[in-house]
Amino acid sequence: MKFLVVTNAPTLYQNKTYCAYAPYVREMDIWSDYVDEFKILSPNSYSGKLLIAPFKNQPELVAVPSLQLTSIKHIILSVIKLPIIIIALFKAMIWADHIHLRCPGNIGLLGCVVQIFFPKKIKTAKYAGNWDPNAKQPLSYRIQKWMLSNTFLTKNISVLVYGNWPNQSKNIKPFFTATFNDAEKEQVKTRDYSKPLQFMFVGSLVEGKRPMFAIQFVQQLVKSGTKATLDVFGDGILKAQLQDYIHKHNLDHVVKLHGNQSKDTVKAYYKTSHFLILASKSEGWPKVLAEAMFFGAIPIATNVSCVADMLGEGQRGLLITPDINNALKTFKSYTEDQFKNLSIHALHWSQTYTLDRFENEVKDLILFEESRE
């Protein structure tokens, strides 16, 4: 099978190998294990910092320009680039037996358009954003969701989305992602919630993830007399601002910024931390919540996308609003015994979503789609 991935995620050439964003690479390594030829159509440059890893199965790259719509200048340049990308998409899709779209994204949007001309080709799409039909999203995201759901325009496709949503077309399939395998399951000791509480934040230090909320939440908790610490993992444009805030408010003994760390390092903190805070503005399937839950850390998260589904409507974690006072009120309404029950339920649920299960479902999906040819 000739497998084509169409994605906005940049594919970078470093040390004579193709690399990309590490979590995406780990997922594509699984997909590419079950195909004969593997090709990626994507941009091949990125100006910011990116946690990258090499592909296990090295792809053939079809490099296309990136598209930006953030200014008049960028829009004009993007319009000029469109014919180049569209021609490349047509050529790549003619080559492919299986077209795999990664959405949402500008390249993914063009892929959604061009795939219309290949109704007999087998296709899958991974929509990594918020599939909530009622979510307020950019127009390009809404267009991609509409096109992927439209069984007249988009044929022979399985669209993998996060969460279970009502009134969906027959090609929409609830899916998940995973970090740990079956062998990494552990019997985690019950936390003692009477001791100083350990909180975590894991994610990019950007406005959409609200890392400042996590810092201020723990700051106010400490002010109210609760002994607590916060370990922050991740990097981003807000790092300097967060560091300044920590120094200004004398929180150096409470909050520590670790930057990007290895999976094993973060995993060690998941095993001992009591809570993970993620007050995001928007999410797809927030993998860090499932990772923390895998080892019994209780998520404290805003009710966006499929988070409520992941947290069992509050049976496996705390659903909060992005308001410090309200979030603290919610947190303080729980007893130690209730926290222990949340931790147990979180662990049991998350440990059903392993890489082994993910690989089996990807394998079944590819083999099923291939059998329909």
Do 365 and 292 share a structural domain?
Answer: no
Residues 35, 144: one domain? yes
Q: Does residue 335 sit in the same domain as residue 241?
A: yes
Condensed to tens digits (0 to 9), the pLDDT of residues 195-227 reads: 999 999 999 999 999 999 999 999 999 999 999
Supply the range of the domain harboring residue 115: 2-178+355-371
Q: Name the DSSP class of 35.
A: -
Q: For the chain, how many structural domains are there in total?
A: 2
Query: Is residue 244 domain-shared with residue 148, that is, in the same domain?
Result: no
Q: What is the CATH number of the domain that holds 337?
A: 3.40.50.2000
- CA 172 from chain centre, in angstroms, equals 18
Measure the CA–CA gap between 130 and 136, rounded to whole angstroms. Answer: 10
131 with 217, same domain: the answer is no
Residues 16, 158: one domain? yes
Same domain flag for 65 and 90: yes
Cα distances from 291 to residues 139, 207, 235, 268, in angstroms, run: 31, 22, 18, 11
Closest listed residue to residue 330, CA positions, set 42, 79, 249, 322: 322
Looking at the structure, tell me whether residues 64 and 97 fall in a common domain.
Answer: yes
Q: The tokens 């979590």 sit on which residue?
A: 23
pLDDT tens track for 46-71: 987 788 999 999 999 999 998 876 67
**Predicted confidence (pLDDT) at residue 123 exceeds the cutoff of 60:** yes
Q: What's the confidence (pLDDT) of residue 368?
A: 62
Section 320-342 average pLDDT:
97
Are residues 201 and 118 part of one domain? no
pLDDT in tens, 77-100: 878 889 999 999 999 999 999 999
Query: Count of CB atoms within 10 A of residue 257's CB?
Result: 18
Are both 146 and 186 inside the same structural domain?
A: no
Q: Is the pLDDT of residue 370 over 70?
A: no
The phi, psi pair for 256, rounded to 5°, reads -125, 125
DSSP 188: P
Q: At 46, which amino acid appears?
A: Y
Q: Where are the beta strands (DSSP E) in the chain?
A: 2-6, 12-14, 17-21, 37-42, 52-54, 60-63, 98-103, 122-127, 157-162, 172-175, 197-202, 228-233, 255-259, 275-278, 298-302, 318-320
Q: Are residues 190 and 228 in the same domain?
A: yes
Q: In terms of domains, do 136 and 198 share one?
A: no
Return the pLDDT at 135: 86
